[in-house]
Copies of this chain bind each other. A is one copy, B any other.
Amino acid sequence: MNKGLLIVLSGPSGSGKGTINQVIAEDPNVFLSVSATTRSPREGEQHGQHYYFITREEFEDRLKQDGMLEYNEYCGNYYGTPKKEMQQRLENGNDVILEIDVNGALNVMERVDDVVSIFIMPPSLEVLEDRLRGRGTESEEVIRQRMNEAITEIGKADQYDYIVVNDKLDDAISEVRAILSAEKHKITRMREFVKGVLNYGNE
């Protein structure tokens, strides 16, 4: 059986990446990878669903055992992508989506050869700003900061394999699904099938 696809799907805050990931992961064949962190759970956050909440000691043990695909430290807490569950799912033929930020995604692309990387773009910066304001929860300062982060992240989009513009959510989801389907039909993943067809005929 073919291994599943390892997918990184990222984009700036307000791009809609979280919603897209969740809809794609409704497919029972797709597994949304859960990150590990040493920070405390916030209200409503569940261990194993939003994050694996582990201690600093556990995290550092895992690092020593090469148990993290990538990690970083932010505001004094570790965040990382556990390797083991991801690898098991891929071996079982499941696709695995990593919802990680742009720097994490670039780290993964450096370490893993056949990762499929998708960057979710807003149709324009104006639309992105409207979306961030529309939440109504952020101060002007936070909005300016998010916009600056978004511009920095979009500047790195050209290191991804694919760009999907999230103008209409349904279209963006269809496009992500099309990318995953196309990736499965690449010759690199179909070579065994082709060989099988030819050998069977010769037996």
Q: What chain B residues lie within 8 Å of A160 (beta carbons)?
A: 187
Task: Tell me the minimal C-beta distance from A166 to chain B in angstroms.
Answer: 12
* Nearest 4 pairs of A and B residues by beta carbon: A182-B182, A125-B201, A163-B190, A178-B181
The answer, yes or no, to whether A56 is at the interface (CB within 8 Å) is no
Counting every copy of the chain, the complex holds 2
**Per DSSP, are chain A's interface residues mostly helix, strand or loop, or mixed?**
helix
B178 touches A162 (CB 8 A): no
Q: What chain B residues lie within 8 Å of A177 (beta carbons)?
A: 178
- Closest B residue by C-beta to A125: B201
Name A165's contact: one of B126, B157, B165, B193 (CB within 8 Å): B193
Residues of A147-179 at the interface with B, using a CB-CB cut-off of 8 Å, are 151, 154-155, 157-165, 174-175, 177-179
The answer, yes or no, to whether A121 is at the interface (CB within 8 Å) is yes
Question: Chain A, interface size: which category?
Answer: 35 or more
Name A181's contact: one of B159, B163, B182 (CB within 8 Å): B182
Task: Tell me the minimal C-beta distance from A6 to chain B in angstroms.
Answer: 16
Task: Tell me the minimal C-beta distance from A105 to chain B in angstroms.
Answer: 13
The answer, yes or no, to whether A62 is at the interface (CB within 8 Å) is no
Q: What chain B residues lie within 8 Å of A162 (beta carbons)?
A: 182, 185-187, 190
